[in-house]
Structure 1
Amino acid sequence: MAFADYEYFYHDIRDSKGGVVGRVRALNDGDVSLIWQKHEEALEQVLALATGDGAANATAKVIEIALTNFPDLVADVICLASGEDWDRAIQGVRKMPLGLKMEALGTIIRMTLESEGGLEKLFGILELMRPARSQNQAAA
């Protein structure tokens, strides 16, 4: 076994009848960076709202806030984690019922956090990205 042999593990997302509608994987650092670049303002708001009141279940709060306030962010995260052709996947994801999007996003977050060490650690990583991002914007 070598790092070059690494393959993503995909988890099936099922509808209410048990049919597989797609598969998703954990996000890696490149994925998080891409999502951050495209949705920085939305992510800042989600993180502030989710961590602002010390919610006991911050993951559920992140999902709720993202789904109700930032549907484009949610659709992009699901499409990126699906590994499918973006143009085709985005059309399907936008048509998905809210509960199915919640299931997909929850699975992506859970898989990502398992590989990254928990929500607090992921928030810490995102926090570390802020100064570098601000410096890059100032230089531009």
Structure 2
Amino acid sequence: MLRMRFSRKVTVLKEQLKSTADCHNQDKNLNEHTIRVLQDDVSSLKFQLSEVKRRESSLEDLRRTVISLLGLDSSCTDYEITSKITKLVAAHREFSILSKRYDDPLPSYVHHVPPPSESSDPTTVDDFEILNNAYNKRPHRKT
């Protein structure tokens, strides 16, 4: 009887040991998998961090170049840089529009319009005649 009792206890203890070992192995495998996943994440984050640092360096170089081109000091804010660039672009647009007006002062027509013929018709009005009359001239100063 005593032998059977001890034999059952040994069997129960063996099962508990096997169960504990299986649980330990599962935990070990799970922890190893978690470590591999975390190592992959860390290496990915290191690569992303190096990319962000490279981009930041590139943006800092661009900022320094723009500041030097605009003739501003290095301690100016981003708002000052942006407003200066905005004013510069607006002035460039205005100049471009103005220069286009002087480059092509007359609109080009799709159809050819013949030049007006000089006729002795009194109903035609000469624009320069209106501009050159006595009332539209500046007075001459006598010095």
TM-score when scaled to structure 2?
0.22
More strand by share: 1
Which one scores higher on RCO, CA 8 angstroms, separation ≥ 6?
A: 1
TM-score in terms of structure 1 length: 0.22
